[in-house]
Amino acid sequence: MAFLFGVPKQPLFGGKTEDALIAETFVRYLETKDGTWPLLFPMVKSIVRGMDALQAFAKEEWKHELNNFIIAGASKRGWTTWLTGATGDKRVKAIAPLVIDTLNIPVQMKNQIQAFGKPSEMIKDYVERKLIPIPQTEAAQRLWIIIDPWTYRDKITIPKMIVNGTNDPYWPLDALNSYWDGLKGDKWLLYVPNAGHDLSERNKDGKTEALPKRAMNTLAAFCRSHTYDKAMPKLDFAILSPPMVKGMDVSLLSNTKPLGAWMLSASSPTRDFRKSWWEQKPLDILGNNTGCKLDLPKNGYEAALIDLEFELEGLKYNLSTPLRILEPSK
């Protein structure tokens, strides 16, 4: 395992870091039309050069050929992970983007307004620089296309593990539904209940665990699986929701029998679930099958998904289905 730090190198341009720094480079792209300005591109290049350096080091110091890499990163490093997968670099065997639940950006921005009433305060750096809402100019439209992993989805066919927190303040709860079906190749998903952008679960008293164990275990299982060619479970699920049924009806079949299955659900007076508490209800497992049903709420909104536990060589980990938000019955 290798960690690449300084992605990006910061601070730059008068002390700017993180989203303020990225936003600065986006503004400079709009001013110059120079395609080298958006910071995500040099961030991707740093990953590629990192692989070059690791291969050279392994060959010289260990007399060993490194051929394949699994790339993982969180937040804007998750954004970088997606775009690294889009380069077509054959060394990238799989990717695990964490807490970057915003592919298909134009649709996501509209979804934020629907869920929160305004853009999330977590993306204020882009709002303050008038990058969001996306300006109706040719340059701005092109900017958000070229830095959106959704644009390159037909190229990102390698296995992917997506990890999100159910209470992440950055993204609407159902953000994944705007891009999940359009992803190509093998894909898996984990929702960490009662966890924010750091993926650490909290209890009802508001205390968070020291380490994001659920996310770490699933990421470890994913890496172990694709390092040693040990198959991950294949989940075949159907999620029926309004207007097809008066509620939500989920059926799920796995080619690997899970150790346990749960329905995770939460309620909210609006479509904003960022402060909602997620309950876990155990589900029966019949062979390799499980499922759950949820009626439409009489008041407010209800969200639910199925969570499964598996084991790989003694390592227990979880996988999830996509979720659905149910609106009040009329």
Quick one: pLDDT at residue 282? 98
Q: Quick one: pLDDT at residue 328? A: 87
Residues in the chain: 330
| pLDDT in the model for residue 33 | 95
**Measured between alpha carbons, how far is 318 from 214 in angstroms, rounded to an integer?**
7
Taken in order of first residue, the domains within the chain and their CATH numbers are: 1-231 (3.40.50.1820), 233-330 (2.60.40.10)
Confidence (pLDDT) at 246: 86
Q: Tens-digit pLDDT profile for the chain (330 aa)?
A: 999 999 999 999 999 999 999 999 999 999 999 999 999 999 999 999 999 999 999 999 999 999 999 999 999 999 999 999 999 999 999 999 999 999 999 999 999 999 999 999 999 999 999 999 999 999 999 999 999 999 999 999 999 999 999 999 999 999 999 999 999 999 999 999 999 999 999 999 989 999 999 999 999 999 999 999 999 999 999 999 888 788 999 999 999 999 999 999 999 999 999 999 999 999 999 999 999 999 999 999 999 999 999 999 999 999 999 999 999 876
- What integer pLDDT is reported at residue 329 of this predicted model? 75
Report the pLDDT value the prediction gives residue 330, as an integer from 0 to 100: 67
Distance between CA atoms of 174 and 101, rounded to whole angstroms?
Answer: 9
Residue 137's pLDDT is 96
Instruction: Give how far Cα 126 sits from Cα of 39, 89, 90, 99, 190, Å.
Output: 14, 30, 33, 18, 28
Structure tokens at 8: 């990006």
Residue 243's pLDDT is 80
Separation between Cα atoms, residue 290 and residue 284, nearest integer Å: 6
Residue 247 three-state SS: strand
Cα torsion at 201, 206, 210, 216 (round to 10°)? 10
